[in-house]
């Protein structure tokens, strides 16, 4: 099977006063259609930076080298305009803070429709219908009312679902979820994860799931890549890295998680809360 995205030897550096400070020091990964790659690592390990670099979302003060093949084309070295046309349409991305990701001055409807206007030739009425369909697909009640609302009038979970719905309605080849569950509460987190698992089952979209949460990664990933300080620490299936972590850093992560879970089980006095 052809991978949707194949990243080889990606190096990202931050240029400051003619000195390049390396942030990501050569990582490789592949994602296949219908599969999910989980990228695990703590804050500052370069998880989301690496994908922002591939998508051309970093500022001019970053240097990006390496190769990132997407549909046979190398994304690195493409112009800003070429990358812009790919973003939002063929590669969709879901971000961490749904509450702050929408422009506070525009209604949900306006923000959905401007995205459709950018990437499709649909008319005004079709766009409106498509917006409603997105909300209905994401099980949001009263879609006609919700599209008329401003972001601050909706909950984080609702906005997150709108973001996911918008991304999936574009039928992208690749969906990148950048810590989509970090900024929302535990119950909503569970709902959102169900949404992702459903998407994975129903569509053939390749998925990259970035998180620092082992439990979340375990729920969805086929393959896991562990990053530590901009380097690849471990790579393999979830079971592999959970049971036999090769790298000392991965071992540390897993042990920490296990000891937290043990304590959790001791306090609650029952077992099997964390599903594997």
Partner 1 sequence: MKSYIVNRILSAIPLLLMISFLCFVFINMIPSDPAEVALRVRQTPVITEEAILQVREELGLNDPYLVRYLRWVGDCLKLDFGVSYTNPSRTVLGEISRCFPATFVLAMSSLVIVIVLSLPIGFFCAVYKDSLFDRIVRGIVFMTTAMPAYWVGLLLIWLISIKWDLLPTSGSGTIKHLILPSLTVALTYISTYIRLIRNNMLENMKEDYVLYANVRGLKQSTILVRHILKNSLHTCIVAIGMSVPQLMAGTIVVENVFAWPGLGKLCIASIFNRDYPVIQTYVLLIGTLFVVFNLLFDIIQSIADPRLRREVS
Q: Which spans of this chain sit near partner 1 (rule: CB under 8 A)?
A: 55, 57, 80, 84-89, 92-93, 95, 97, 100-106, 114-115, 118-119, 150, 152, 163, 166
Report in angstroms how near the CB of residue 20 gets to partner 1 at its nearest.
Answer: 18
Give which of 260, 256, 236 is closest to 246, Cα–Cα: 236
Nearest to partner 1 of 16, 270 (CB atom) = 16
H or E stretch covering 234: strand 231-236
User: Could you tell me the end-to-end alpha-carbon distance of the chain, in angstroms, rounded to an integer?
Assistant: 27
What radius of gyration do the chain's Cα atoms show? 19
Nearest to partner 1 of 135, 166 (CB atom) = 166
Report in angstroms how near the CB of residue 138 gets to partner 1 at its nearest.
Answer: 17
**Per this entry, what is the length of the chain?**
276
Q: Quick one: how far is CA 163 from the chain centroid?
A: 11
Report in angstroms how near the CB of residue 231 gets to partner 1 at its nearest.
Answer: 25
How would you classify the pairing of strands 19-31 and 36-40?
Answer: unpaired
Report in angstroms how near the CB of residue 16 gets to partner 1 at its nearest.
Answer: 13
Report in angstroms how near the CB of residue 52 gets to partner 1 at its nearest.
Answer: 9
Burial class (CB in 10 A: 0-12, 13-18, 19+), 108: buried
Nearest to partner 1 of 100, 204 (CB atom) = 100
Report in angstroms how near the CB of residue 250 gets to partner 1 at its nearest.
Answer: 29
Helix then strand then coil, in percent of the chain rounded to 5, is 45, 25, 30
Nearest to partner 1 of 87, 130 (CB atom) = 87
Report in angstroms how near the CB of residue 269 gets to partner 1 at its nearest.
Answer: 41
Nearest to partner 1 of 105, 187 (CB atom) = 105
Alpha-helical runs (H) found in the chain: 47-55, 80-86, 98-101, 108-119, 124-137, 143-146, 156-169, 186-202, 214-220, 238-243, 248-268
Nearest to partner 1 of 167, 211 (CB atom) = 167
Residue with tokens 């070429």: 82
Nearest to partner 1 of 111, 221 (CB atom) = 111
Cβ atoms 175, 92 nearer than 8 A:
yes
Cβ atoms 205, 164 nearer than 8 A:
no
Residue with tokens 């919700």: 146
Question: How does DSSP classify residue 151?
Answer: G
Nearest to partner 1 of 31, 224 (CB atom) = 31
Report in angstroms how near the CB of residue 55 gets to partner 1 at its nearest.
Answer: 8
């Amino acid at each position: 099977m052809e991978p949707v995205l194949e990243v080889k030897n990606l190096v990202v550096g931050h240029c400051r006063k003619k000195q390049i400070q390396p942030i990501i020091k050569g990582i490789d990964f592949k994602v296949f259609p219908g599969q999910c790659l989980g990228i695990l690592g703590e804050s500052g390990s370069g998880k989301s930076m690496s994908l922002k670099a591939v998508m051309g979302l970093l500022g001019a003060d970053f240097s990006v080298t390496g190769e990132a093949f997407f549909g046979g084309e190398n994304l690195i070295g493409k112009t800003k305009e070429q990358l812009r046309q790919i973003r939002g349409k063929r590669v969709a991305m879901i971000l961490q803070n749904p509450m702050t990701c929408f422009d506070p001055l525009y209604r949900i409807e306006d923000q959905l429709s401007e995205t459709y206007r950018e990437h499709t030739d649909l008319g005004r009425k079709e766009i409106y219908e498509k917006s409603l369909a997105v909300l209905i697909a994401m099980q949001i009640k009263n879609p006609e009312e919700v599209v008329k609302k401003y972001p601050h009038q909706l909950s984080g979970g609702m906005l997150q679902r709108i973001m996911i719905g918008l991304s999936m309605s574009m039928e992208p080849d690749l969906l990148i979820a950048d810590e989509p569950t970090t900024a929302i509460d535990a119950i909503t987190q569970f709902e959102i994860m169900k949404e992702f698992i459903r998407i994975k089952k129903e569509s053939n979209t390749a998925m990259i799931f970035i998180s620092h949460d082992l439990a979340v990664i375990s729920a969805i990933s086929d393959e896991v890549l562990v990053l530590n300080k901009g380097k690849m620490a471990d790579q393999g299936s979830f079971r592999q890295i959970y049971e036999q972590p090769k790298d000392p850093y991965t071992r540390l992560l897993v042990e920490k998680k296990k000891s937290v879970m043990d304590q959790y089980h001791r306090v609650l006095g029952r077992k099997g809360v964390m599903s594997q």
